[in-house]
Amino acid sequence: MTTPTRIQLPTDPIVGTDAAFMAQAVEAADQARYRSSPNPWVGAVVVSAGRVVGTGATRPPGGAHAEVVALAAAGDAARGGTLYTTLEPCCHQGRTGPCTTAIVEAGIDRVVIAVADPDSDVSGGGVSALAEADIEVEVGVGVGDVEEQLRPYLHHRRTGLPYVVLKLAATLDGRIAATDRSSTWITGDEARQDVHRLRAQSDAICVGAGTVRADDPRLTVRDWNEAEAFGARDPRRVVLGAIPDGAQVEPAHSHEGPLEGLLADLGGDGVLQLLVEGGADVAGRFHRAGLVDRYVIYLAPAILGGDDSVPMMAGPGSSTMADVARGRFTAVSRLGDDLRIDMVPDPRPGQ
């Protein structure tokens, strides 16, 4: 298998639009999704005379940003060319030097940016630095795709909190465990691999102490075939409540207290995405508190039937239809015999 970091450059000239070249930058950014956090996963493409001469993606923390990687790949061919980048280039000294300086020194004439960076250290400063160097700058090309791709990062920078994904695997009648509380293998192999890919995309994973006692999960990334190729890492593990001695989830953080405090702590520690895997009590708590930013539900073609099996969420629900929590489906995909449904909730009053 070709590793995602090995980028093939075209040998023939490519005449494309800004949108087409930005799409290549978006594709490059996918390569960095599993290894760049807490930095954003960014892709960049350098084009000269209608030909892609350099492609780059963000390296792991402490490594070069996407723009610098792309410029290094382009070399002297970057002079007089156009740089396409999915996120506004940084203009400050961090673990690495400012990308804007590298762009100016490379002799780039034009920079096309999908999304402005809401980070307080950048936030328009990158665009201003480039404009002051007489580089033409355009912002907004491919903005929809990149805002979706960078949703956890953008949410974190705007709120200081992690982007919360609530994952549930259920039967068609909305049950996550049988009467005897057994819950293994509700979904098939393809769905389980997708869950592990979702874990690899997350900086932290959260379950309740009851789930740890009942299932003794590891909460690691292991059942995803491409994990090693993408450089995927295990998320940090968080347990709501006391962790039993000898639990496989260790090392893990035990949290007692309000969920809002947990999110504030994780956000302050650079966690961009938190994956909540349940069980039913934890799912209900996050849902009722209005803390879920995306619901990912895996539905199996199976029916438990009856009201004595375990529902997706425990605790009180909406008392009337007027109070029901609504949202919109953003994706529906088939995984073997199962379905994955992504839903983003509508803002609640006061949010």
- Which is nearest to 81 in space by CA: 124, 47, 53, 58? 47
CB burial string 118-145: b at 16+ within 10 A, e below:
bbeebeebbbebbeeeebebeeebbeeb
- Give whole-number Cα distances, 70 to 10, 66, 87, 273, 314, in Å: 14, 6, 14, 27, 49
d(CA 129, CA 123): 11
Tokens representing residue 60 in the block: 């792991």
Identify the three-state secondary structure at position 57. Answer: strand
Tokens representing residue 350 in the block: 């006061």
Among candidate residues 27, 67, 105, 260, the one labeled active-site is: 67
Task: Give the full edge-to-edge strand order of the sheet including 327-335.
Answer: 253-255, 236-240, 204-208, 273-278, 163-171, 294-300, 338-345, 327-335
| Cis peptide leading into residue 258 (ω within 30°) | no
Place of tokens 């504030």: 264
- Annotation says 147 is catalytic: no
Judge contact between 315 and 285, C-beta under 8 A. yes
- Which is nearest to 279 in space by CA: 184, 155, 198, 343? 184
Cβ atoms within 10 Å, residue 204: 23
Q: Tell me which residues are annotated as active site.
A: 67
